[in-house]
Amino acid sequence: MAEPVRHPDSFEREALPHLDTVYRVALRLSGDPSRAEDLVQDTMLKAFRAWSQFRPGTNARAWLLTILRNTFINEYRKQKREPTPVDFDVVEPYIMRQGGLDADPEGTFFSRIVDAKVLEAVDALPTDFREALVLSDMEGMSYAEVAESLEIPIGTVKSRLFRARRLLQARLYDHAVEMGYIKPREDR
């Protein structure tokens, strides 16, 4: 062994408690459980090797998620076809034209949509939008922590979230119409 790894105990104490979060985010990034497992293992090993670069007292969760995300982008993303980019000029007016908000203004249809459909719609988002949405709205992280994890400015986090949420609402709305959870108004 070369130079011994510094403070393996502190890795166990500060990094390993975030393993569930890292796993959940890996699942949504990769869209596949077995790839997610490989991604998590690679991430934790890289983090362990780089642990001496982690500054104690800073955000270990964001640090791990940055490694996860870079590992995914560099090594895993190539292996899978990305979702087709979406034309927002087409998608955004659609929910309005359908009168989605008037047909179910309180969004009661959301609670009828099964989890698997929600995850499917999230997984279909373009990666840039998906990663911001997963960290902020699924994992409940603050915009500042999302920005730190993704290494982008807070303003960029907000604009990606804005578009991701609109897109997702439109997809879930369409699904709810298909399933008959919502009867869209005809007068639009």
Binding of residue 24 to other proteins (CB under 8 A): yes
Query: 68 vs 81, which CB is nearer to other proteins?
Result: 68
* Site map (CB under 8 A) of other proteins, residues 143-162, x = contact: x-----------------x-
Binding of residue 172 to other proteins (CB under 8 A): yes
Binding of residue 181 to other proteins (CB under 8 A): no
Q: In degrees to the nearest 10, what's the CA dihedral of 174, 180, 182, 186?
A: 90
The sign of the CA dihedral 163, 86, 113, 76 is negative
CA angle 45, 157, 84 (to 5 degrees): 80
- What is the rounded distance in angstroms from the CA atom of residue 36 to the CA atom of residue 28? 8
Residues engaged in binding other proteins (CB under 8 A):
1, 4-5, 8, 11, 19-20, 22-24, 27-28, 37, 40-41, 44-45, 48-49, 101, 105-108, 110-111, 113, 115-116, 118-119, 122, 133, 136-140, 142-143, 161, 165, 168-169, 172
